[in-house]
């Protein structure tokens, strides 16, 4: 390896001293171990494991887990994402709804996040398959709260209506990913902040009883003020829940990290989020879009009840 490449590798791998995770102890460690044993013994697969999420201990201890459906590869090529890209994915797995439902039931979860890959190759962008997956889980585990982290469905509001009509769902999530100015740099050309906001607005219009959620990554070249502006745009779209976390490049081939905002900046964003009127949020370097998803839902639900009283 040349000196230049060695320096670049060191630069990529260097993280701030405060960039650390804490392992659970006591009762939380016990609950995490129980969930891990269930996953291992039943040969189950979660995004939490496969993405090596730094928050797996916290979420599994809380009986939260995330699953990805509709394939392992995406029809889009966003510059930040570790998921592989393919133009013509294999057909959808007809057994996936039943298999997903069995996995969630076996794990004894309190809250399940179902995320998806983009399926631009399908007429409905996969909307009906996502619906079948959620319906199967609901039938098998009626007590589990459900969150769908959905694609933008190519901006098709008709497909969104088909997906959400009478669907038993607690949270509809769709990530805007970055501030608007960075769309072309960060996301696939078929994805835009405007299109994403449109899906979130329409989801709330169609189903005002469902909480909407979105997420932003930082460290991509945005300014602090642009993050604030993006948050206000999400709130203006009646988004209820939001998360902000640090972008980390999955490989040297992906976008390089531009900066590492310090913890105090996340605290400032949290204050802004609360003042804007969001019902729930999570902000921090290690926060991911599904971080403490069940807890955010519970807090938001409590807040809504309090406001109604």
User: pTM to 2 decimals?
Assistant: 0.89
| pLDDT confidence band for 7 (50 / 70 / 90) | very low
Phi, psi of 261 (to 5 degrees): -55, 140
Q: State yes or no: pLDDT of 16 exceeds 70.
A: yes
| Residue count of the chain | 309
Determine the 3-state secondary structure of 276 from DSSP.
helix
What secondary structure letter does DSSP report for 53?
-
pLDDT of residue 5: 45
Q: By residue range, what is the domain housing residue 176?
A: 24-308
Q: What is the pLDDT of residues 146-204, one digit of tens each?
A: 999 999 999 999 999 999 999 999 999 999 999 999 999 999 999 999 999 999 999 99
The tokens describing 225, both together, are 């003020």
Cβ pair 98, 66 in contact under 8 A: no
Q: What is the pLDDT of residue 1?
A: 46
User: How many domains are contained in the chain?
Assistant: 1
Report pLDDT digits (tens) over 209-239.
999 999 999 999 999 999 999 999 999 999 9
- Residue 57 sits at φ, ψ, to 5 deg, of -65, -45
Give the three-class secondary structure for 138: helix
pLDDT score recorded for residue 307: 75
The predicted structure's pLDDT at residue 18? 67
Distance of CA 283 to the CA centre of its chain: 13
pLDDT for position 65:
86
CB 238 within 8 A of CB 264: no
Q: How confident is the model at residue 8 (pLDDT cuts 50, 70, 90)?
A: very low
The answer to the question of residue 234 being in a domain is yes
10 lies in a domain? no
At 9 the pLDDT is 44
What integer pLDDT is reported at residue 114 of this predicted model? 94
226 occurs within a structural domain: yes
Range from 85-89, 102-106, 119-123 that averages highest in pLDDT:
119-123
How many Å apart are CA 146 and CA 127, to the nearest integer? 16
Whether residue 112 lies inside any domain: the answer is yes
Q: What percent of the chain has pLDDT over 70?
A: 81
- What is the structure's pLDDT at 25? 61
DSSP H or E run through 282: strand 280-283
Q: Give residue 4's pLDDT band: very low, low, confident or very high (50, 70, 90).
A: very low
Please, which pLDDT band fits residue 3 given cuts at 50, 70 and 90?
very low
Q: Is 206 among the domain residues?
A: yes
Q: Is the pLDDT of residue 14 over 90?
A: no
Beta-sheet strands, E only, within 157-240: 171-173, 211-218
Residue 5 in any domain: the answer is no
Sign of CA dihedral 266, 269, 275, 279: negative
The model's confidence at residue 52, banded by pLDDT at 50, 70 and 90, is low
- Asked if residues 162 and 207 have their Cβ atoms less than 8 Å apart, the reply is no
With residues binned 3-state (H G I as helix, E B as strand, rest as coil), the percentages for the chain, rounded to 5, are: 45, 15, 40
Is residue 308 scored above 90 in pLDDT? no
- Nearest to residue 141, comparing CAs of 113, 94, 102? 102
Helix (H) / strand (E) element for 8: namely helix 3-13
Looking only at the bridges linking them, the beta strands covering 211-218 and 171-173 are parallel
Residue 235: alpha-carbon gap to chain centroid: 18
pLDDT level of residue 101 (50, 70, 90 thresholds) = very high
Q: What is the CATH number of the domain that holds 303?
A: 3.20.20.70
- Tell me which residue of 72, 80, 82 sits closest to 117, measured CA to CA: 72
Which of 161 and 57 is assigned the larger pLDDT? 161
Of 115, 244, 262, 239, nearest in space to 179 by CA:
244
Do the domain assignments include residue 133? Answer: yes
Let me know if residue 92 belongs to a domain: yes
């Amino acid at each position: 390896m040349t000196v230049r490449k060695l320096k670049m590798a060191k630069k990529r791998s260097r993280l701030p001293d405060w960039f650390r995770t804490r392992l659970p102890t006591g009762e939380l460690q016990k609950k995490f171990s129980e969930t891990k044993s269930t996953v291992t013994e039943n040969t189950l697969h979660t995004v939490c494991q496969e993405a090596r999420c730094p928050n797996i201990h916290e979420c599994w201890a809380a009986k939260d887990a995330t699953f990805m459906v509709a394939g392992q590869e995406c029809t889009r090529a966003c510059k930040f994402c570790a998921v592989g890209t393919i133009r013509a994915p294999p057909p959808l797995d007809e057994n996936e709804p039943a298999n997903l439902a069995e996995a969630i039931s076996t794990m004894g979860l309190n809250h399940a996040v179902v995320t998806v890959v983009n399926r631009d190759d399908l007429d409905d962008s996969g909307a009906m398959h996502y619906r079948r997956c959620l319906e199967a889980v609901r039938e098998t585990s009626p007590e589990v709260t459900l969150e769908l982290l959905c694609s933008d469905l190519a901006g098709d509001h008709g497909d969104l209506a088909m997906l959400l009509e009478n669907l038993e769902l607690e949270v509809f999530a769709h990530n805007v990913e970055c501030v608007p100015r960075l769309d072309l740099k960060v996301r696939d050309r078929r994805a835009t902040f405007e299109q994403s906001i449109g899906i979130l607005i329409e989801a709330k219009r169609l189903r005002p009883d469902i909480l909407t959620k979105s997420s932003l990554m930082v460290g991509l070249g945005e300014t602090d003020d642009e993050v604030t502006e993006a948050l206000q745009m999400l709130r203006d779209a009646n988004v209820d829940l939001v998360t902000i976390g640090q972008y980390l490049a999955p490989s040297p081939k992906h976008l390089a990290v531009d900066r590492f905002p310090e913890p105090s900046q996340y605290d400032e964003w949290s204050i802004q989020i609360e003042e804007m009127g969001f019902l729930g949020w999570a902000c921090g370097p290690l926060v991911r879009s599904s971080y403490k998803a069940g807890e955010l839902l519970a807090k938001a639900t409590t807040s809504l009840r309090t406001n109604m009283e």
